[in-house]
A and B are shown apart, each in its own frame.
Chain A
């Protein structure tokens, strides 16, 4: 019995830590309807500024907090002014991509300045421990709880009773109306980003002190858990974010208690999916509350796509097809093979995200399903590799659609968050379902690609094979988009109420899109498995999902040619920047930001 008290306390302690990030995310979401993927990076920056203050400058704690808050707020203001404000009149998805680019840049800057080695960030509070249950808590636990609760309370009062707070709420309800009423929306945004960043920075520092450890990998994890907590509490709801965080902490702790440590995150993400399905506005939304996403699909604004004449496409395809006949190195071919595999994934995602408007952040899960299915079919059942890859595609289509179907009733950002969670769940199931997937040991000795009894081993033959598969999938998808199905998909994306009024069954069309998309992604994963010969639960990770979304947005949502172009660009750029060694991801992030800034609708435009 006493153990349950301990599990409860431990859940609340870690929930406390999540709350610090979740409050900042909630604040920004409340105003700009934006999941700020850079929030974790600000948290990272805050931790390292705290390290400089404590270890190098020996500042006392109150001064450290002020220094970190001010410095982080300045970073937040810079992000708002130069990263996001120029995008406020462009498609709603552009700022999302911008925050991903900003987080690359900030993480890399910290890594280059401070080296990737973890550092100790000593706590400046006296080392006294209070006995609670079987364990102890320290003053830092209380300080973190204090900062979390006080900031949530202060923000609540600020939003409810101050004039600027009213302006913030007005801007979040209807930006245009607020502007007509004389609210300076830019100043509101500035205030919000400044406050959220200050909070994020201080959180990073406090959490660093709590664990006596800071490193550059802490940013993505902080964002992930923060997003989960925030959405559980109701996106944009500041006090809800705190309660959501505590609940998340408790669920994780009880999950560990009952099933063991390796199931921990599984419960976190299951909680998220269940909450989203049952109460899409979060646990604490009132029934009267207006839906947090617009009724119609302004998430993806149409733009005029760049029309590429058929002959140009034919010439380009022919060019790529005959490329191996010229003396190009295998390195170039291998890089392009990677691009074609990513291209297939992007085709899949551009269909579900761009054409029908379900922006998925868990697409790597489809790769993983395809890869494991194909690997296991060929290894355990001796199915010929060619058929096994198709089997992977079919399994990915079926299982992927089934898994994603609970999120069909969601809109906008909520789809992204639900798919993010589903992606994580798939990866954790692969890790834990050892009798089938061999868990963390992974599957080795996967046979190479082969077709009709001929092994495809040379880079040239793999190149032709993957290119041909991608082109066939692209042609099929092009046909699909030109058919009545394509029109129905776009109708659902642009206005699902109107589409339903015309008698379109939303779920059926969304399923169709995911079946087709799942197949393409599964094929890509299957080919990758046979190419690598070894896969485990880490091979297809969250970064892959984010990369795929970046490709799709860069190419132009729903744009088939854009998806392939984006894949070549995003596989090629980091390779081209290899000469810059450690700086290459930084440069990649900056290039990405510039592209979003000047082509927010994507290189080839939304179809």
Chain B
């Protein structure tokens, strides 16, 4: 919200609510007005933390886009509407964005129920829904206005399986996963790949997002006698599992999905996450220029804070949106077509991102094999832990 004058926004929202004829038609042809993107995401409610991380990534990307001269001389801005990741609110927001001619492209929502409930409205309204954290395999099947830069789990999980099985030499695995659409899909791809690489799956355990006590789950894992633990978790639950694994006496190697990649994982996990292996899409010492620019810019803007995976997704998404709008202009249909034309957009996650027009997703995520050493994420040196 920090990018548009609050008063304009207040007036806009009021107008949209009361009469529906939101922004006056004269206004948006005016090139001094910013090009407006709609964002539907959680700012309150149980997923609020992810919405605030999005904002950090968006704001950094916008600063850089403005510094580089904006979109053909025009400003780019976003209007963030809080959905609480609730489908009831995301559908209302979808109608709000679709009926506001100033909005040229929509980003979000966060969770699958909220995003995919809104998809039919965006599809019929002819507004692109650009879901950059939507890994649900059916998300882009909602229609040709649904596009996603979320790393497909069909891509990511084989990389993690290769790290665990081929590189770390684990043979008998226990998989702990969030029992959500993301965690479940990820688990299935991981198990398939790990088996192909010759590992045995000793046990898989799915837990709900609110779970905090994992000790009994870990005893189950212990009794299955694996030589490695795979965490398909977010950073907060991943840290809890790592701590409690040490408490119940598990000393096996742990290997986690990229979604734990956050300074918070180390802050919350403390010594227990030491030597945890993480397959990620980028890492601090990565020499790629887009990564260095992202990390340096992020630290500068946010008082030395390290960016995490969700910051990076949002940063990439805003850069992609800018690249698309540069090609497509402000016409919604032209913007959809621009997604098929946009090529090699610099990306922290993908190196360079180009959409596969058939799946409306991006393939070829970068891969880095990290390990937590002395309270820092570091590139794995190949030594066993």
| Chain A residues at the B interface, C-beta cutoff of 8 Å | 3, 6-7, 10-11, 13-14, 17, 108, 111, 115-120, 122, 129, 134-138, 211-213, 215-218, 221, 252-253, 256-257, 260-262, 264-265, 327-335, 338, 341-342, 431, 439-442, 444-445, 448, 457, 459, 531-536, 538-539, 543, 571, 574-576, 578-579, 581-582, 584-585
Cα(A445)–Cα(B174), bound, Å: 33
CB neighbours (8 Å) of A111 from chain B are 44, 48
CB contact list, B221-266 vs A, under 8 A: 222-223, 236, 239-240, 243, 247-249, 264
Nearest opposing residue in chain B for A8, CB measure: B216
Say if the beta carbon of B1 comes within 8 Å of chain A.
yes
State whether B20 touches A212 (Cβ < 8 A).
no
User: Are the CB atoms of A6 and B248 closer together than 8 Å?
Assistant: yes
- Sample of 6 further A-B pairs with CB below 8 A, known A135-B248, A211-B243, A253-B216: A13-B213, A262-B208, A338-B92, A440-B180, A532-B113, A534-B112
B112 pairs with A212, CB closer than 8 A: no
Check A533/B222 contact, CB under 8 A, given A7-B216, A135-B249, A575-B92. Answer: no
Report 21 cross-chain contacts, Cβ distance below 8 Å, ordered by A residue.
Answer: A3-B223, A10-B213, A14-B213, A118-B268, A122-B270, A134-B248, A213-B212, A217-B46, A256-B220, A260-B206, A260-B220, A329-B19, A329-B99, A431-B179, A442-B112, A444-B138, A532-B116, A533-B119, A536-B112, A539-B117, A579-B10
Chain A residues in 8 Å Cβ range of B119: 533-534
A112, B93: Cα distance in complex, Å: 22
A119 contacts which chain B residues (CB < 8 A)? 267
CA distance A134 to B248 in the complex (A): 7
**Please, how many angstroms separate the alpha-carbon atoms of A136 and B116 in the complex?**
44
Assuming A6-B248, A108-B44, A329-B20, is B179 touching A440 (CB within 8 A)?
A: yes
Q: Please tell me if the beta carbons of B216 and A582 are within 8 angstroms of each other in the complex.
A: no
Which B residues form the contact surface with A (CB < 8 A)?
A: 1, 9-10, 13-14, 16-17, 19-22, 43-46, 48-49, 51-53, 80-82, 84, 86-89, 91-92, 94-96, 98-99, 111-113, 116-117, 119-121, 124, 136, 138, 141-142, 179-181, 183-185, 205-208, 210-213, 215-217, 219-220, 222-223, 236, 239-240, 243, 247-249, 264, 267-270
Minimal beta-carbon separation of B356 from chain A (angstroms)? 20
Give the docked Cα–Cα distance between A215 and B53 (Å): 15
| Cβ–Cβ contact A252 & B239, under 8 A | no
B236 to A444, Cβ gap below 8 A?
no
- On chain B, the residues within 8 Å of A122 by CB distance are 270
Report whether B206 and A459 are in contact in the complex, using a CB–CB cutoff of 8 Å. no
Contact of A332 with B20 in the complex, beta carbons under 8 Å: yes
- Which residues of B lie under 8 Å from residue A10 when comparing CB positions? 213, 215-216, 219, 248
Min CB distance, A312 to chain B, in Å?
23
Q: How far is the CA of A136 from the CA of B250 in the complex (A)?
A: 11
Given contact pairs A213-B240, A444-B116, A118 touches B49 in the complex (Cβ within 8 A): yes
Say yes or no: A11 contacts B216, CB within 8 Å. Answer: yes
CA distance A445 to B140 in the complex (A): 11
Which of B21, B46, B117, B222 contacts A327 (CB under 8 A)? B21
Residues A440 and B181 in contact, CB atoms below 8 Å apart:
yes
CB distance from B381 to the nearest CB of A (A): 27
Distance between Cα atoms of A448 and B269 in the complex (Å):
45
Residue with the greatest number of chain A CB neighbours at <10 A, chosen from B94, B124, B212, B236: B212
Say whether B82 contacts A264, CB under 8 Å.
Answer: no
A330 touches B99 (CB 8 A): yes
- Supposing A331-B16, A575-B17, A581-B82 touch, asked if A533 and B116 sit within 8 A by C-beta, the answer is yes
Per the bound structure, the CA–CA distance linking A357 and B222 in Å amounts to 49
Question: Do residues B99 and A534 form an inter-chain contact, with CB atoms below 8 A?
Answer: no
Q: Are B216 and A257 within 8 A (Cβ)?
A: yes
* A579–B79 alpha-carbon span in the complex (Å): 11
- CB-defined contacts of A329 to chain B, threshold 8 Å: 16-17, 19-22, 95-96, 99
- Chain B: CB-nearest residue to A129: B247
CA distance A533 to B84 in the complex (A): 19
- Chain B residues closer than 8 Å to A584, beta-carbon distance: 44, 82
Interface core residue of A108, A135, A264, A543 (most chain B CB under 10 Å)? A135
- Measured CA separation A141–B119 after assembly (Å): 47
- Is the pair B20, A252 in contact by a Cβ cutoff of 8 Å? no
CA distance A111 to B52 in the complex (A): 11
Contact, CB under 8 Å: B52 / A115: yes
Bound complex: CA A535 to CA B119 (Å): 12
Let me know if A211 and B212 touch, CB within 8 A. yes
Complex Cα distance, B254 from A606, in Å, reads 58
In the assembled complex, which residues on chain A have CB atoms less than 8 Å from the CB atom of B45?
Answer: 585
CA distance A120 to B240 in the complex (A): 11
* B1 cross-chain contacts in A, Cβ below 8 A: 581
Q: Closest 4 interchain pairs by CB?
A: A329-B20, A532-B117, A116-B48, A534-B116
Instruction: Give chain B nearest CB distance to A81 CB in angstroms.
Output: 27
Q: Is the CB of A328 within 8 A of B183?
A: no
Q: How far, in angstroms, from A117 to B239 measured CA to CA in the complex? A: 14
- Chain A residues with Cβ below 8 Å from B208 are 262, 264-265, 431
Contact in complex: A579, B13 (CB < 8 Å) = yes
* Residue numbers in A under 8 Å from B206 (CB-CB): 260-262, 440
Contact partner of B247 (CB less than 8 A), chosen from A136, A257, A440, A579, is A136
